[in-house]
Amino acid sequence: MYEILEELNKTAGVTGSMIVGQDGIAIAADLDTQLQDEAVGAVAASIVNTVQKSMSRLSDDALKQIMVEASGGKLFLTDVGIGILAVTTEPQVNVGLIRLEIKNATEKVKLAQKSTSGAQKL
């Protein structure tokens, strides 16, 4: 997982990334040293849980991604199956590129999870 995050962090404008469980506990993290893993994880889980509850009231659509934009940067939250991929960026980034790289990382995380769970069954 760390290799996937490290590769994602090489994308222009990305300042850090982590995977957190739905409970906010960090599974893997490669964040900017100014950010605390626990704080980002808790915020990510809280935002996703709140938005998921709201979405369920409006429709049956599954949540894919949330983008939070602030003056200090952007926060992308994406469902990766085993948890939430949280990606922090600089304020001015190519959102299309970031979303593409997040999509690629999501596929890699899901593939890694399948291979891990397949190995555990043996």
Which of residues 96 and 63 earns the better pLDDT score? 96
Q: Residue 94: inside a domain, yes or no?
A: yes
Q: Closest by alpha carbon to 44, among 81, 77, 7?
A: 77
The boundaries of the domain holding residue 95 are 2-115
Mean pLDDT to the nearest integer, 112-119:
72
Chain segment 66-113, per-residue pLDDT in tens: 999 999 999 999 999 899 999 999 999 999 999 999 999 999 999 988
CATH number (domain holding residue 85): 3.30.450.30
- Per-residue confidence band for 122, with pLDDT thresholds at 50, 70 and 90: very low
- 16: nearest Cα among 76, 103, 81: 76
Give whole-number Cα distances, 89 to 1, 6, 58, 104, in Å.
19, 14, 29, 17
Residue 122 in domain:
no
Range list of H helices, 28-94: 37-58
Domains in the chain, number: 1
Does residue 121 belong to any structural domain of this protein? no
The gap between the terminal CA atoms of the chain, to the nearest Å, is 21
Position 11 in a domain: yes
Question: Average per-residue pLDDT in the chain?
Answer: 89
